[in-house]
Amino acid sequence: MKFKESVLAHRLLDGLEGIEIGGSAHNRFGLKTRNVDYCGEMTTIFKQEEIKVCGEALPVDIVAPGDQLPLDDNSVDFVISSHVMEHFPDPIKTLKEWYRVVRPGGYIYVIAPHKERTFDRERPRSTLAELIERHETGNGPDPDVAHCSIWITEDFVELVQWLGWPLVAVQDTDDKVGNGFAVVIGVQKDGAAMLVGASNAVDASGAATQAPAIHARAHLSMTFVMGPTQQIRTGGAACILEYARRFKARGHEVSLTTWPKFLWPQDAPFPGFDSDIPVYYDATARRESLPYHFLNKIPRDYLGEMRFFLAYMHLVTPAIPRADLIIAANWDGIIPAWQSGKGKPVHFPQHYDEVFFAQDSQPSAGLQGNPLIKMLCRNTFQMPVYRIANSTWLAGEFRRRFGETVPAVQHGIDTTQFHLRPKLSAQDGIIRVVTYCRPEKWKGFQDAVPAMAELMRRYPNKIEWHVYGFAHPVFGPDNPLAPYQFHGALGHEELSRLYAQSDIVLCPSWYESFPLPPIEAMACGTSVITTPYGTEDYAIDGHTAIVVRPRVVADFIVALDGLVRLPELRDRLARNGRAIAESLTWDKAVSAREELLWRIHRNQMPTSGLQGFDTGIMDGYGNSFDRLSAEIGAKEGELLQGADHKQYLVESGRLRHVVNPSALGLQSAPTRALDLLSLLRSEHGPDITSTANYYGLRA
């Protein structure tokens, strides 16, 4: 018996030369490789098993341990392995060794067993903190006893992201043996482009796709659809504008699209944004165009509020310019980006936005207390658009809730802006704790108050609490439990100084997605206490932070008390936190997203299509009624010739009319015929809104 070869591996690596670690005859990749094994004899238990399974054993070309390769730096195009990585006690060392020998632009291709699909299902998963400890101490499990590491897909992705390396493709179920997962890492050194073998079309599902030519243009055109902001920007809005600025600096054609002027909180949509990036908005829209009479009714008019919100969302659609990519920065921009037909819709989610909605529906909650709008928010996450999450947690939520595989790219942190300064406690012995405040319950400020009250009780006159952000409606600065100094909204310079001069930053949010306060504090050399959801990419419990359970005040108290009592623990967390902050550079973040955007533009990145619209009701042949257009047998990214003599691209569950296919690197001939019935069904069926010149190209 021999296992099938991997479609994904062939599409990435055909035409390249590499090495396989621990290759076997019954599990060949069919690539141009030399086999590396720790023993060249054919009498080992593994080689005897090969012969037993398929009647032969794969010869060994290089006799060496897989984590100590006798090869020069940058000497091979790729390293590939299947069901080998789990045998190395120190996988970080192993991956770094493989990275060393791969040429710039090459690949590391790893298939590893998935915990839930192998005999390891009863064993605990190997955490990132454990792997880091093995690497730092040199102490690891015995590989002769059992698998050294146990992973699910997200665990290994987290490891790669901690290393700061770009992910080229991820298969939750590998397309070779099928009981593992596949992760492909891009080896980028000195900004080199990725190597291209026989075909540069990559579909992370392993399905065959048309391979467009390498892009002829050196830049993309893109517009970011986002709401107007205040002068002081933090969180997702600040990060989106930073991406826009840096993409423009790399030569891309970048613009911003926002809501009409009467909705701006200040005179400019993004006050203080120092860039000449053009901003588009509908200058003809007036306040009277919104049905305000549906708001503030008693009892509430939920349907009326929904009509108001839909009208509000539609105000941005006319302003969207034609571009290669229409990038929605928030959930309320997803439908306008998708509906516009001006370019390929992409979503840069900053959070699982459904959590922003109030848990009660009192009028004081405003539109975020409307359950209909909350459901609309949830449903936009099932729209057929491409997504790039900002954290492993958020990508996992898309997988858990909607079965969608979403790549994650963490934001960068500017460690020249957030940097080390002397601690004031070294002068006066006062321990300073910093917390960000917002009035929403899920931000957890109300949970921090009793914890700080207990800390102040234990250490009278030794604790100062500094709070910045927004005023809290219940616990003000002079509250009797835990009074604090309130700093209001702070710019980056003032915030950096507050973090760096303090000793502890307490982040009590119930859930976040790559929140900035913890990582900014780490960059400033300050110890951090944080909750786990959304911080997993940098908050490693006991290494870079103390990770506590959300809403468990007792956990906050124990962590705070420990950091007050143990200055050496504060110093260790601060030192390690600064190191991980230095690894999260903006150049890495922009490069990773830039590569994914190119892949989206070239139709090399899979999408869930109409998965969110599918009822799952089947006909007699087992086909979903919602996907009858699949009878045309078209693949994602395929160019078809319609019965109307026009050419259509199969894209995100729609047919897209393409005026100039060659400009997209697509071969206009020969193309398969699209019969009139399928064309009509696609245009008017549930999965198509209209034919559109998807990329905004003109004849």
Please check whether residue 579 lies inside any domain of the structure.
yes
Instruction: Tell whether 324 is covered by a domain.
Output: yes
Q: Are residues 181 and 229 in the same domain?
A: no
Domain for residue 534, yes or no? Answer: yes
What pLDDT was estimated at residue 365? 61
Mean pLDDT by groups of 10 residues along the chain of 699 residues:
84 91 90 90 78 85 93 94 95 96 94 92 91 91 91 91 87 89 87 43 33 49 94 80 95 95 93 90 93 90 94 95 94 94 92 80 70 92 90 91 88 95 96 95 95 97 97 96 96 95 97 95 97 93 95 96 96 95 94 91 65 58 50 62 73 63 64 60 32 31
Q: Which two tokens stand for residue 672?
A: 């398969």
Are 459 and 579 found together in one domain?
A: yes
27, 145: one domain: yes
Q: 3-state DSSP call for residue 152? A: coil
Q: Is the bond preceding residue 89 a cis peptide, omega within 30 degrees?
A: no
**Pair (369, 490) in one structural domain:** no
Is 200 part of any domain?
no
Position 663: which residue type?
A
* Residue whose tokens read 């708001």: 295
Single out the residue in 530, 562, 584 at which a domain terminates: 584
Let me know whether 182 and 57 are in one domain.
yes
**Closest Cα to residue 418, out of 567, 527, 526?**
526
State the pLDDT at residue 610.
45
- Please tell me the predicted confidence (pLDDT) of residue 643: 67
Structural domain contains residue 369: yes
Q: Which long-range contacts (CB under 8 A, 24 or more apart) does 229-232 make?
A: 229/265, 229/269, 229/270, 229/271, 230/265, 230/266, 230/271, 230/489, 231/266, 231/271, 231/272, 232/489, 232/490, 232/491
Q: What is the CATH number of the domain that holds 385?
A: 3.40.50
pLDDT at 357: 84
pLDDT score recorded for residue 77: 94
Query: Angle 553-565/567-583 helices, nearest 10 degrees?
Result: 100
Q: What is the CATH number of the domain that holds 26?
A: 3.40.50.150
On whether residue 502 sits in a domain, the answer given is: yes
What CATH code is carried by the domain that includes residue 500? 3.40.50.2000
For residue 104, give the DSSP letter.
E
Q: Which residue has the tokens 């390690």?
A: 576
Does residue 313 sit in the same domain as residue 231? yes
Check residue 628 and give its pLDDT: 47
Question: Which residues fall within 8 angstroms of residue 23, CB to CB, at 6 or more apart?
Answer: 29, 33, 35, 36, 37, 58
Q: Domain span at residue 19?
A: 7-186
Provide the whole-model pTM.
0.63
| Per-residue pLDDT, 240 | 95
Do 566 and 467 share a structural domain? yes
- Tell me if 262 is assigned to some domain: yes
Give the N- to C-terminal CA distance of the chain in Å, as an integer. Answer: 54
* Residues 123 and 53 grouped into a single domain: yes
Same domain, 390 and 430: no
The reply to whether 265 falls in a domain is: yes
* Residues 455 and 370 placed together within one structural domain of the fold: no
Q: Do 180 and 271 fall into the same domain?
A: no
Q: Could you tell me if 438 and 392 lie in one domain?
A: no
Q: Cα 208 vs. chain centroid, distance in angstroms?
A: 25
Q: Count how many domains the chain has.
A: 4
**Residue ending a domain, choose from 402, 437, 456:** 402
Identify the domain boundary among 530, 564, 584. Answer: 584
Residue holding tokens 């300073």? Answer: 432
